[in-house]
Amino acid sequence: MSVVKVSAILLMVLVAQGVHAGDTGSAVPYLERWGIYELDPVTSQVTQVLTSPKEISKLRINSAGDTFAFSMEVDGDALEICTFDMTERKFTRLTENGHMDVYPSWSPDDSMIAYLSWPGDTLDIYAMDADGGNQRLLYDSGFHDADLHWAGDKIAFTRNSQIWIMEEDGTGATRLTDPPKAGEWGDAVLPFGDYDPRISPDGERIVFERMVDDSSPHGNYDLFIIDSDGSNEKRLTDSGWTQGLAVWSPSGDRIVYSVAAMGEEGRYDIYTMNSNGSQIQDLTSQHFPPGFLAHEPMFSADGSKIFFIGEWWDWRVLETEITCSLSSSEVVPGEEVSVSGGIEPAVPEAAVTLTIVGPSGSTITRTLDLDSEGAYAEVLEPSEIGQWAVKVSWEGDLGHHASESQTTYLVVEEPQDGGSGIPGFPTQSIMLGVLVGALLYSITKRVHPLNSYAKSP
């Protein structure tokens, strides 16, 4: 789908849902508005790979599975092609020309990147080395060329709302589809037609989306599949949702795609299905929090994970509250006391600082890692007699303000027996008990009948 369509859908989501970032606790990391995330489809665990205050779009991963290519506004308003190496944690800007560069696609050997650029009247297909060098025009149809994908020695792309394919050197462009009403404008943000072709790993098939209805302003689409020669077209879905940007698994037996809306309801969830259209599965709607939108999913190189662009709609730096509670407020020297609490909204695995001030003014600090629920627990064994002060603080991050708990007090008292006698009983009480016992014994000897027999000769 084009940049124009995505922007329109974002507007629809805002109006339809009125969502707000951080409305509920979530295991999805919350830092800046945009980011690249990794999803485990089995456990639903989400890990953030890259975070950015600026929009990230048109995400692609290389064949080695270690570097992303994408579009981003770096300086000014123009979208540029950038890469991010996950191993070296290195961000690189590849284009810098003042006009829109989007939709990067890696060559099979990762040595080059094809992309769309708009230097003049139309959007054309360019290519460059993976380090950004040797930028050159690869193909110009005279129309807007879009939605490209490079696989094997072929490049598939969209032209005039139809699917086309050509050789990797830009020659031999051939039309593969001619959908009903292709290029005709209706009530949606794009004309009727086919978009976003993706070539299968074996090069034999192409999956794409087709606008089948314009009853909603963002358009209604279904997924289709054809052979790479344009024959044997099959329909994979029949829901008419706003869905697309389908990507093959490395084995070619699964497809992951985005569902941006169902009718007028904004969604932006990640779905998968078998390559024949069976076993459609929603991976995210029950796990992602309101206000978190998933864009442009794709499989990792080994097929075990799914990468995607995440966006926090209505992003803002959130206020936080951190708590600190003690299991007991009065203890004796060496007695254990538990300190526990957490951050709201939850910030899983954040590091907080526990500060303990003793009666003499000595200060102890400890760094505690929050668990997956954003909570912590620690055990203290204070020994110095007197009042101790305990509090927890957090410095915040890109998505959260810093916070500090109220100070909680703990009193360490001497044992009540003062260090002698039976534990828990003062010495004076024991002495009184001995005196009373002796008096009773004396009285008993005087009145008990056995006493007189004991004294007889």
Average pLDDT over residues 123-137: 97
Report residue 218 as tokens. Answer: 């963002």
pLDDT at 324: 97
Checking if the pLDDT of 191 tops 60, the result is yes
Report residue 276 as tokens. Answer: 């024949």
Q: Which of 247-251, 329-333, 426-430 has the lowest mean pLDDT?
A: 426-430
Mean pLDDT score of the chain: 87
pLDDT at 7: 35
Task: Give the model's confidence band at 75: pLDDT under 50 very low, under 70 low, under 90 confident, else very high.
Answer: confident
The H or E element containing residue 429 is helix 427-447
Higher pLDDT among residues 386 and 12, named by residue? 386
Using CA atoms, how far apart are residues 392 and 62, in angstroms rounded to an integer?
44
Average pLDDT over residues 394-420: 88
Cα 111 to chain center, whole Å?
30
pLDDT at 267: 86
Checking if the pLDDT of 76 tops 70, the result is yes
Using CA atoms, how far apart are residues 320 and 308, in angstroms rounded to an integer?
27
199 has which bridge partners? Answer: 206
Average pLDDT over residues 301-325: 95
Checking if the pLDDT of 20 tops 90, the result is no
Task: Give the model's confidence band at 438: pLDDT under 50 very low, under 70 low, under 90 confident, else very high.
Answer: low
Using CA atoms, how far apart are residues 108 and 253, in angstroms rounded to an integer?
19
Say yes or no: domain 321-412 is CATH 2.60.40.10. yes
Q: Which of 288, 309, 267 is nearest to 23 (CA)?
A: 288
Architecture of domain 3-312: 6 Propeller (2.120)
Q: Which of 158, 53, 48, 150 is nearest to 106 (CA)?
A: 150
Checking if the pLDDT of 23 tops 70, the result is no
Average pLDDT over residues 100-104: 96
For 284-301, what is each residue's pLDDT tens digit? 999 998 899 999 999 999
pLDDT at 207: 98
Task: Give the model's confidence band at 427: pLDDT under 50 very low, under 70 low, under 90 confident, else very high.
Answer: very low
Contact 35, 310 (CB under 8 A): yes
Checking if the pLDDT of 444 tops 70, the result is no
Residues 6+ apart with CB under 8 A from 256: 246, 247, 249, 270, 271, 272, 297, 298, 299, 306
Average pLDDT over residues 231-259: 95
Letter for the amino acid at 157? F
pLDDT at 14: 30
Using CA atoms, how far apart are residues 248 and 230, in angstroms rounded to an integer?
18
Query: What's the distance, Cα to Cα, between the start and end of the chain in Å?
Result: 122
Average pLDDT over residues 132-154: 96
Report residue 3 as tokens. Answer: 């940049």
For 341-367, what is each residue's pLDDT tens digit? 999 998 988 999 999 999 999 999 999
* Cα radius of gyration rounded to whole Å, the chain: 35
Report residue 396 as tokens. Answer: 């915040």
Checking if the pLDDT of 433 tops 60, the result is no
Contact 117, 124 (CB under 8 A): yes
pLDDT at 442: 54
Checking if the pLDDT of 4 tops 60, the result is no
Task: Give the model's confidence band at 215: pLDDT under 50 very low, under 70 low, under 90 confident, else very high.
Answer: confident
Contact 376, 352 (CB under 8 A): yes
pLDDT at 218: 83
pLDDT at 78: 87
Query: Domain limits of the chain?
Result: 3-312, 321-412
Using CA atoms, how far apart are residues 196 and 60, in angstroms rounded to an integer?
13
Task: Give the model's confidence band at 421: pLDDT under 50 very low, under 70 low, under 90 confident, else very high.
Answer: very low
Checking if the pLDDT of 11 tops 80, the result is no
Cα torsion for 109, 227, 2, 75, to the nearest 10°?
0
Checking if the pLDDT of 456 tops 50, the result is no
Higher pLDDT among residues 406 and 27, named by residue? 406
Measured between alpha carbons, how far is residue 162 from residues 10, 41, 168, 175, 196 in Å?
A: 25, 32, 19, 7, 10
Task: Give the model's confidence band at 437: pLDDT under 50 very low, under 70 low, under 90 confident, else very high.
Answer: low
**Most distant pair of Cα atoms in the chain: their distance:** 140
Contact 124, 116 (CB under 8 A): yes
- Strand 205-213 versus strand 254-262 pairing type: unpaired
Residues of the chain with pLDDT > 70: what percent?
85
- Strand 330-331 versus strand 408-412 pairing type: parallel
Using CA atoms, how far apart are residues 297 and 46, in angstroms rounded to an integer?
13
